[in-house]
Amino acid sequence: MAAYKYDPLPDQRIRLIGLLPGQRLDPLLVSIFEADFPRHADTTPAYEALSYVWGDGAGSHSVSVVPAGADDITSTTTPTPTPTVSLGANLHSALCHLRLETSRRILWCDRLCIDQANHDERARQVARMADVYQRAQKVIV
């Protein structure tokens, strides 16, 4: 499967994921979308931030990325091929447990919301992680 390709992220924006609904053992599906994240005014959509241990295996699992706004896609109707992002076992397990059965859940997690291959973006986004966690409706540890 093809790896998901991130678009450049403007300075006053962050990425969020929509964790699509499903049963605990269904394949993971997410949409990745940008949201405003200005310094002083908060127009960012409501989201939950996930804090987890990366672990030592970065590519042992994967998540399929579907187009943003595709809330009606399920694991049985996923268009193929879909691009994927590799995940470690800890994040994969967390997402499987956090997924809701009937509705999308909006989350921020560094592995999926930061282009890990783009060192400049990663440095900028890591520098604002305290704000990302502070503005979250809930932080899940």
pTM for the predicted model, two decimal places: 0.89
Query: Looking at the predicted structure, is the pLDDT value of residue 105 above 60?
Result: yes
Residue pLDDT, tens place only, 17-57: 999 999 888 999 999 999 999 877 777 899 999 998 877 65
Residue 98 is predicted with a pLDDT of 96
pLDDT tens figures, 49-94: 999 887 765 568 999 999 886 656 655 565 667 899 999 999 999 9
pLDDT at 43: 79
Instruction: Determine which of 5-19, 76-90, 100-114 has the lowest per-residue pLDDT on average.
Output: 76-90
Give pLDDT, residue 115. 97
DSSP string, 81-95: S--EEEE-HHHHHHH
Domain ranges (residues) in the chain:
13-140
Which of 119, 26, 29 has the alpha carbon at shortest distance from 65? 29
Average pLDDT value over all residues in the chain = 89
Exposure string of 44-60, with b = 16+ CB inside 10 Å and e = fewer, is beebbbbebeeeeeeee
Q: Is the peptide bond before 81 cis (omega within 30 degrees of 0)?
A: yes
Over residues 103-128, the mean pLDDT reads: 96
pLDDT at 40 (0 to 100): 74
Q: Can you tell me the mean pLDDT for 102-114?
A: 96
